[in-house]
Amino acid sequence: MNMKTEVKVVDGVYWVGAVDWNVRYFHGYTYTTPRGTTYNAYLIQDEKVALVDTVYAAFTGEMMDRIRALVDPEKIDYIIANHVETDHSGALAAMLKAAKNAKLVCNQRCKDGLEKNYFGNWDYSIVKTGDTIKLGKKTLTFLEAPMLHWPDSMFTYIPEDELLLPNDAFGQHLASTERFVEDYDEAIVMQEAAKYYANILMPMSPLITKKIEEVGKMNLKIRMIAPSHGLIWREPQKIVNAYLRWASGEADKAVLVAYDTMWTATEKMALSIVEGIRSEGVPAKLVRIPVSDRSDAIADCLLMKGILVGSSTINRGMLPSLSPFLEDLKGLRPRKKVGAAFGSFGWSGGGAESVDKILREAGVEISAEPLTVKYMPNAEELKKCFEFGRAMAQKVKA
């Protein structure tokens, strides 16, 4: 491979990660990654040499080549593990073998997690918030960030460079030849960052607000944020402000209409609902689950204030194809949402009612009783659907 593949982040700090062009699902099959991803690791060269995080095991060779182009791995003094999860620790065992003089630096929860994942007998050095390692001119400062997004999550900060390495926070699943946000299409980066936040960080929103406030109070100067996935932020305020907004639950005055149908009755309802929403000048987005991307629909739930979900009835309940989306939503607990359920039925009913129950469990403020129609909606019923959409739009505007 090309030996000159490392990228300078700032003087003495290099990106030595790997680009995964092919991955299309993350966390098993829970999250779609249509643009692939990267696993970012950073090599810091000073009097002492440190490596911050590693990559997914399959990419060990790619990372190792990048490191070797800069330094003999035996010269590495510290390997920092900011996070246990395997996409960042998978190459640790191989790395520790090659970097045989390195200490493995992490917090206690990370050590516990690494031991339970890899069963390695490694040379740990345990750190906590406020601890530092002097590398020469540069200092590594550690800031624990429990539950952002795992108990072990930690940020590494280099004050001399005003560089924050926050691991999974502020990341995006996006494979690219560019390494900096400003060199890429920023709208796409922001969209992927929102999808990442929605699908991974949304339930931790209160903690995110707190953590950003805490960092603000510490007066840490941050000139650059280099996350563990995707591109590096040279204008970090963009993503920090976006996180503050997303964490607050503030969203666009717009409505997502997500549905599934067997014989189009519920779809006809959905189309009239969308017309009703738009008649109020409120944007509406219609997605059919499961043909539309479920993880994108979750991102829409972050970005839009209103959520309407439609299902016809099957065996007295909702269509099982909607379950992954609704289960996801329930676990992710979006803040400050208004919503309602709708759908067609034949005799007993139960589809829309099941959706209504899960929306409530997800913490959505229910603005109307489920709107149901027997078999195909007639003109009068379609009018009701239109009005249902209008009422939702008014609620979202208020």
DSSP string, 47-110: SSEEEE----GGGHHHHHHHHHTT--GGG--EEE-S--SHHHHTTHHHHHHHSTT-EEEE-HHH
DSSP 370: P
* CB 85 to Fe ion: min, Å: 4
Taking CB under 6 A as the rule, does residue 262 contact ligand FMN?
Answer: yes
Angle at CA of residue 386, ends 329 and 250, nearest 5°: 40
* CB 260 to ligand FMN: min, Å: 8
Which one among 87, 267, 296, 328 touches Fe ion, defined by CB under 5 A?
Answer: 87
Q: Which residue has the tokens 């976006």?
A: 242
Q: Please list every residue from 164 through 223 that binds Fe ion, using CB under 5 A.
A: 168
Distance CA 272, CA 310 (A): 12
Taking CB under 6 A as the rule, does residue 315 contact ligand FMN?
Answer: yes
Taking CB under 6 A as the rule, does residue 137 contact ligand FMN?
Answer: no
202: nearest Cα among 149, 152, 165, 150: 149
> 157 or 388: whose CB is closer to ligand FMN?
388
Q: Which of Fe ion, ligand FMN, none lies near 89, with the C-beta cut-off 5 to 8 A by kind? A: none
| 3-state helix vs strand vs coil in the chain, percent to 5 | 40, 25, 35
Q: Please list every residue from 185 through 214 that binds ligand FMN, using CB under 6 A.
A: none
Q: Which of Fe ion, ligand FMN, none lies near 168, with the C-beta cut-off 5 to 8 A by kind? A: Fe ion
Distance CA 304, CA 210 (A): 23
> 154 or 265: whose CB is closer to Fe ion?
154
Q: Which of Fe ion, ligand FMN, none lies near 216, with the C-beta cut-off 5 to 8 A by kind? A: none
Active site residues: 27, 83, 85, 87, 149, 168, 196, 229
Taking CB under 6 A as the rule, does residue 265 contact ligand FMN?
Answer: yes
Distance CA 92, CA 151 (A): 19
Q: Are 85 and 19 in contact (CB under 8 A)?
A: no
Taking CB under 6 A as the rule, does residue 38 contact ligand FMN?
Answer: no
Contact residues for 121 (Cβ-Cβ < 8 A; gap 6+): none
Which one among 113, 230, 306, 349 touches ligand FMN, defined by CB under 6 A?
Answer: 349
> 152 or 267: whose CB is closer to ligand FMN?
267
Q: Please list every residue from 65 through 104 that binds ligand FMN, using CB under 6 A.
A: none
Q: Which of Fe ion, ligand FMN, none lies near 85, with the C-beta cut-off 5 to 8 A by kind? A: Fe ion
Taking CB under 6 A as the rule, does residue 378 contact ligand FMN?
Answer: no
Q: Are 255 and 305 in contact (CB under 8 A)?
A: yes
Distance CA 30, CA 22 (A): 16
**How many residues interact with ligand FMN (rule CB under 6 A)?**
19
Q: Build a one-symbol-per-residue string for 144-163: x at contacts with Fe ion by CB under 5 A, - elsewhere.
A: --------------------
Contact residues for 107 (Cβ-Cβ < 8 A; gap 6+): 126, 127, 128, 142, 144, 152, 154
Taking CB under 6 A as the rule, does residue 321 contact ligand FMN?
Answer: no
Per CB under 5 A, residues contacting Fe ion are 85, 87, 168
Per CB under 6 A, residues contacting ligand FMN are 261-266, 312-316, 344-350, 375
